[in-house]
Copies of this chain bind each other. A is one copy, B any other.
């Protein structure tokens, strides 16, 4: 058995010595740059193979300044939404010869900040980030100032002039809401998983994600143009943690003037709605209609199958990586925000609203609000 020393690795100098050439020459052959005669090339390659040489990419990156690596910070790897996006990123990156380092922030701005710092420290050539908050963005501004390319994924930050790739959430929310209105609904809830101590929506200052704001605007706009009064009252936030989501949904459905339809911000929330409904003995779409963001694979096998807003998640990742690579290699035209379209996939979770006893009271309530 070959007792290779486990500590010290083979360096280019070792190879050079063994091949009987200078370090510089060996480096040229192994690094595929400069020139070397065929016979020398062969000698060096043979020695490298024999010694089991593997280049130290760290050293290489340090001198060249390029690491051929892009850093990615996503909100939650466990969420299949980001899983798909990451695959898109990986595919595009690898196709361009880049590696990917992934971190997840758990949607926590502080963790995100730390992750970005680490990746910058590792001298990645560029960054793709799904920012956890539009408020805490100093670290991203710093990245931009340092000149390292940065692409925002899924969400934008208003005052940060970098590339971004997002889906058209406003228009998606509007379309979904319109579909519910066309089915006869007037009391439509939007339940978001976004972080928030207060589950009740009181205004834009609470919202720290561009997507959430856009969706709320979409729901409100569609409702308003259908003559629905005060649609904001059915908006709920912070349904992220499992137990909490359940509570928020149950309270919403058991309260006075309960909504007859729910738009869920992702499939995790939709799942929570499903479970809560089962617990309350209510059915879809008889008692409640449901639409969810994200066409997760399982949404077509529930009963009833869920009507969803399909987002081009893989493309979102793929495009963002392509843009980033272009910035790294090429140069700077002005940053753009690419908006990808979504599709409403109609399945069987939308029905006519049930006849609610207190329906008249609600109208009165609405009327009172006007007067």
Contact = CB atoms under 8 A, between A and B. Distances in A.
A294 interface: no
Contacts of A271: 297-298, 301
Task: Please give me the 10 A-B residue pairs with the lowest Cβ-Cβ distance, nearest first.
Answer: A6-B147, A57-B121, A102-B102, A298-B298, A303-B303, A78-B83, A274-B301, A101-B101, A58-B62, A57-B122
A211 interface: no
A80 interface: yes
Interface stretch (A31-39, A48-56, A152-160, A257-265): A48-56
Contacts of A278: 301
A121 B60 CA distance: 10
A298 B296 contact: yes
Given A57-B121, A271-B297, 5 more contacts: A6-B146, A6-B147, A54-B117, A58-B61, A69-B122
Contacts of A296: 298
Interface stretch (A84-92, A191-199, A342-350): A84-92
A77 interface: yes
Contact of A86 (B9, B77, B121): B77
A59 interface: yes
Interface residues of A, number: 53
A189 interface: no
A103 interface: yes
Contacts of A101: 101-102
Given A90-B104, A146-B6, A271-B301, A67 B58 contact: yes
A123 interface: yes
Number of copies: 2
A363 interface: no
A110 interface: no
B54 A121 contact: yes
A182 interface: no
A232 to B, nearest CB: 29
A87 B67 CA distance: 25
A315 interface: no
Interface in A80-133: 80, 83-84, 86-87, 90, 99-104, 117-118, 120-123
Nearest to A10: B146
A134 to B, nearest CB: 22
Interface in A8-67: 9, 52, 54-59, 61-62, 67
A7 interface: yes
A72 to B, nearest CB: 9
Contact of A123 (B56, B83, B104): B56
A76 to B, nearest CB: 8
A120 B83 contact: no
